Structure 1
Amino acid sequence: MHTIWKGSISFGLVNIPIKLHAATEDKDIKLRTLHKECHSPIKYEKVCPTCGKDVKTDEIVKAYEYTKGKFVVLDDEDFNKLKKENEDKSVEIIDFVMMNEIDPIYFNRSYYMSPNEGGVKAYSLLRKALQESGKVGLAKIIIRSKEQLAVLRVFENTLIMETIHFPDEVRKAQDVPNVPVESNVTKKELDTAILLIDQLTTEFKPEKYTDEYRTALLELIEAKRTGKELVTPIEKEAPANVTDLMAALQASIDRTQPKKTVTKRKKAVTKKTKKNA
């Protein structure tokens, strides 16, 4: 597994040398943009709209637009200064909290952590302490010149770090338009909805969920590549346009109910027939 970062975990006076590995991977299918006429890949060139000429990489600078058309230009020296001030490559645990206190909206990316040379015992100690306490570490780390807030926890006997958004990066739910303040749901509707939830409740097994669109797209690409005829999949039943909420709930319950076995009933009818004979 590729190492993307080397540093250490620190909490109190304890220091654990570690390596960071991406825990997830993007499996989106990358499609190129071609010229329809000759199928040549399209190039995206950097052109200045004012000068009307191509701009080379060494002629480009970064800037912050603080108001429309007004910029503060930042050069390499500015970034290098900030980098030196924050060059300590450590995951500094600043607090320990309960995992259920952190809403999933904060979570961003996941990274596996492995012990670097000399860090095996301290790594095992932190892992065991987190398992026994039932808590997670709240930490700060700088990755690619950006300070990140992160959670350290145990996943399948491996320390995992999950970067999380800072509070000011999460938009307020109160700003979402048209959210009803009060509920006008009847008890019958609520009971029926809960019954439907109960019928659809199952144990979470991640392996049973697949990206159906990606699979279909890959099959389409392979079929076009090899000149084979693609079999059209059976279309899923479209949801009915039911405006009556109770009717929709009841129809959903009827659809998700397990099929009743008629074996016992058949046996009962057979016995009754024999007795009458």
Structure 2
Amino acid sequence: MHTMWKGTISFGLVNIPVKLHAATENKDVKLRQLHKKCQSPIKYEKVCPICEEEVGNDDLVKAYEYAKNKFVMLTEDELKELQEEQTDKAVEIVDFVELQEIDPIYFEKSYYLSPNEGGAKAYSLLRKALQETGRIGIAKMIIRSKEQLACIRVYENTLVVETIHYPDEVRNVKDVPNVPEEAETPAKELDTAKMLIDQLTASFDPEKYQDAYRTSLLELIENKKNQDETTTAKDKPTATNVTNLMEALEASLDQAKGTKPAAKEKAVKKDEPKTEEKAKQKVEKKVTKPKTVTPKKKQTKKKA
């Protein structure tokens, strides 16, 4: 059985090194939620509503909300220091009371206690003393970073810790709505109800009580498995190097296609001024430099 906690329980001058084990377990059938379209398990992510990005555990901090959207930040070191202050203290039994004095509404969760090394004798002493006096011990202890009020009693030759709620954790029964006041009850109806209770009275045998819904649900699941009414979640597609390479090549090709016309257009625009300039120069040459005609020499006739 898994050990949840190790410590020391003391009453008077007696110290008992003990181990704590969970006495109960949740037998609820856990159902997963799948995407109806592809039968894949739904993933729950922590997302910041302001930044709209997924937040990892390293980016989380703890805080107490004392008013709407008003927080007091608490560091891990501060919380750890408080826990260590309480954990270092031994679990001390402060009172012994009658079990019937505690209403069941206060009980929360049960844990088995076993003696740690060297604690068997003291463990047996406390067990025997509780059995013969019919008392239970009231103590305080730290379980999973929370200070718990607890009672220590004997259950089938084993010491058991029952964590119990603090008084301020139990809601006021006067706040329950629509509870009728005392009313006159006909004697005949009351006698009939008492007779029915007497007929149904029996010794408590927990073995005869079963969770009918859980049993039926497990049977339904097993029948569906046997009839091959099952599904397998699809593996998440992973990008391969080939796919990445093809995507890169296609993107490069698209980019090249988009830049070529622009380059040609740019080249044409660069050439245009040169062409216009040359044309202007040719015109200017025609206008400013007209052709010069050299006069012909007059020919004189020789006398005979």
TM-score after normalising by structure 1: 0.81
2:247 is matched with which residue?
none
User: Does residue 128 in structure 1 map to residue 128 in structure 2?
Assistant: yes
Superimposed CA distance per residue, residues 14-53 of structure 1 (whole angstroms, 9 cap, x where no aligned partner): 1000111111111111111111111111101111101111
Deviation at 1:228, TM superposition (A): 7.7
Closer, same or farther in 2 for the Cα pair 1:173/1:37, shift >3 Å? same
- For 1:11-26, what aligned pairs fall within 5 Å after superposition? 11-26=11-26
2:31 is matched with which residue?
31
2:167 is matched with which residue?
167
1:235 is matched with which residue?
none
Superimposed CA distance per residue, residues 125-173 of structure 1 (whole angstroms, 9 cap, x where no aligned partner): 0000001111000010001110000010000011001000000000011
Deviation at 1:12, TM superposition (A): 1.2
After TM superposition, the runs of 4+ consecutive aligned structure 1 residues lying more than 4 A away are: none
**1:21–1:112 CA contact under 8 A, matched in 2:** yes
User: Does residue 65 in structure 1 map to residue 65 in structure 2?
Assistant: yes
Deviation at 1:77, TM superposition (A): 1.5
Greater Rg by CA: 2
- For 1:146-225, what aligned pairs fall within 5 Å after superposition? 146-225=146-225
1:4 is matched with which residue?
4
SS of equivalent residue, structure 2 residue 48: coil
Q: Tell me which protein shows more helix as a share of its residues.
A: 2
- For 1:68-147, what aligned pairs fall within 5 Å after superposition? 68-88=68-88, 90-147=90-147
Whole-angstrom distance in 1 between the partners of 2:207 and 2:85: 44
Kindly tell me the number of residue pairs found equivalent between the two proteins.
Answer: 229
Instruction: Give the letter for the 1:226 counterpart.
Output: N
**1:89–1:142 CA contact under 8 A, matched in 2:** no
SS of equivalent residue, structure 1 residue 7: strand
TM-score after normalising by structure 2: 0.73
Whole-angstrom distance in 1 between the partners of 2:87 and 2:211: 40
Whole-angstrom distance in 1 between the partners of 2:150 and 2:194: 35
Instruction: Give the letter for the 2:176 counterpart.
Output: V
SS of equivalent residue, structure 2 residue 147: strand
Whole-angstrom distance in 2 between the partners of 1:94 and 1:127: 16
Deviation at 1:89, TM superposition (A): 5.5
**1:9–1:15 CA contact under 8 A, matched in 2:** yes
Deviation at 1:74, TM superposition (A): 0.8
Deviation at 1:2, TM superposition (A): 1.3
Whole-angstrom distance in 2 between the partners of 1:80 and 1:117: 28
Whole-angstrom distance in 2 between the partners of 1:47 and 1:200: 54
Whole-angstrom distance in 1 between the partners of 2:106 and 2:205: 23
Closer, same or farther in 2 for the Cα pair 1:224/1:179, shift >3 Å? same
SS of equivalent residue, structure 2 residue 184: coil
Whole-angstrom distance in 1 between the partners of 2:98 and 2:120: 25
User: Does residue 227 in structure 1 map to residue 260 in structure 2?
Assistant: no
SS of equivalent residue, structure 1 residue 129: helix
Whole-angstrom distance in 2 between the partners of 1:3 and 1:81: 24
CA RMSD of aligned residues (A): 1.2
Instruction: Give the letter for the 2:149 counterpart.
Output: L
SS of equivalent residue, structure 2 residue 38: coil
1:271 is matched with which residue?
none
Superimposed CA distance per residue, residues 153-194 of structure 1 (whole angstroms, 9 cap, x where no aligned partner): 000011001000000000011111111222221111111110
SS of equivalent residue, structure 2 residue 195: helix
SS of equivalent residue, structure 1 residue 86: helix
The 10-residue stretch of structure 1 (35-44 or 177-186) with the greater mean CA deviation from structure 2: 177-186
Whole-angstrom distance in 2 between the partners of 1:83 and 1:4: 16
Whole-angstrom distance in 1 between the partners of 2:92 and 2:37: 55
Whole-angstrom distance in 2 between the partners of 1:36 and 1:184: 56
Deviation at 1:87, TM superposition (A): 2.1
Structure 1 unaligned regions, length at least 5: 230-277
**1:45–1:54 CA contact under 8 A, matched in 2:** yes
SS of equivalent residue, structure 2 residue 54: coil
The 10-residue stretch of structure 1 (220-229 or 102-111) with the greater mean CA deviation from structure 2: 220-229
